[in-house]
Amino acid sequence: MSQNDLFVILLLGLMFAMTALALTTQVFGRKAAQRAVVSGEKKYRGLINSSIQAILILDRHTPLFCNRACAELLGYDSPEDLLATASLERHLMPGEHASYDQFWEVSMRGENDGITRRRQLVDLRGKTLDVEVVGRRIEWDGRPAWQVTMFDVTESSRMNALCGQARSAFAFSQPMLPTSSSPTTTATSSPMPPHPLKRYRDTRRQTSLVKPGST
């Protein structure tokens, strides 16, 4: 075997080793990236599911994702029970279906992103809820969707209403105070006493007017 043949064999072996190393690195790198993505998704879902804020993703009326706080807010035992519902229209207030369709069309254009609104919903038991809602348009599995975060403010709304009623009742129970034009409140004005210097000047003027011997 000549030196040239030996050189070619060594070169081919080195190229094969480098190719094998590159393929192995790509495979392990791809698997590591996949594990990182899966781990990131699990952590993200864990944070979402443990959040005390109600989070919901929907396609018009169809729920695509929700966390436990959202399911409990609307009266479901678990997120799976809520996601098994074909439509969430039952949770809209009566007469809001047409306005919701308009809201959806505007939201899909991104014009409602980040705007906080207060609205009323109905839970699974028929109880009216006051919620503050903020959402944004997202892409979910290649199609547009609406991600919304809801805050239950039912109790604070009830307390504000009670405070308003208490203030109204207190104001109504107070006696009407007479106005300043009422004759019963018109105080008798008494003349102000003269200034001491003015009294002194008046006394001197009167004394100068008295003729000698007139007393």
Q: Is the pLDDT of residue 44 over 60?
A: no
Query: Counting beta carbons within 10 angstroms of the beta carbon of residue 28, is it exposed (0 to 12), middle (13 to 18) or buried (19 or more)?
Result: exposed
Write down the residue that tokens 């991104």 correspond to: 110
Distances (CA, A) of 210 to 78, 155, 180, 207: 111, 88, 48, 5
- List, as one string, the DSSP characters of 136-151: EEEEETTEEEEEEEEE
Which structure tokens are listed for 99?
């306005």
Per-residue pLDDT at 213: 55
On whether both 88 and 152 belong to a single domain, the answer is yes
Q: Does 75 map to a domain?
A: yes
Which structure tokens are listed for 191?
């003349």
Cα angle 12, 16, 22 (rounded to 5 degrees) comes to 145
Which structure tokens are listed for 196?
């001491």
On whether both 46 and 61 belong to a single domain, the answer is no
> Distance from CA of residue 65 to its chain's centroid?
20
On whether both 25 and 103 belong to a single domain, the answer is no
Per cent of the chain over pLDDT 90 is: 42
Is residue 90 within 8 A of residue 123, CB to CB? The reply is no
Distances (CA, A) of 206 to 199, 209, 215: 11, 5, 13
Which structure tokens are listed for 106?
């505007």
Q: Does 208 map to a domain?
A: no
User: Which tens digit of pLDDT belongs to each residue from 128-187?
Assistant: 999 999 999 999 989 999 999 999 999 887 787 777 777 777 676 666 555 555 455 444
Task: Say whether pTM exceeds 0.75.
Answer: no
Bridge partner list, 55 = 149
User: Which tens digit of pLDDT belongs to each residue from 87-107?
Assistant: 999 999 988 888 999 999 999
Question: Whole domain around residue 28: which residue ranges?
Answer: 10-50
Q: Tell me how far apart the alpha carbons of residues 17 and 167 are, in angstroms, rounded to a whole number.
A: 86
On whether both 68 and 144 belong to a single domain, the answer is yes
User: Which tens digit of pLDDT belongs to each residue from 46-60?
Assistant: 667 778 899 999 999
Classify 26 in phi/psi space as left (phi over 0), alpha (psi -120 to 50) or beta.
Answer: alpha
Beta strands in the chain (DSSP E): 54-59, 62-66, 117-122, 128-140, 143-152
Per-residue pLDDT at 212: 53
* DSSP state, residue 62: E
On whether both 37 and 101 belong to a single domain, the answer is no
Find the CATH number of the domain harbouring 61: 3.30.450.20
Per-residue pLDDT band for 211 (boundaries 50, 70, 90) equals: low
Domain count of the chain? 2
CB atoms within 10 A of CB 48: 17
On whether both 75 and 119 belong to a single domain, the answer is yes
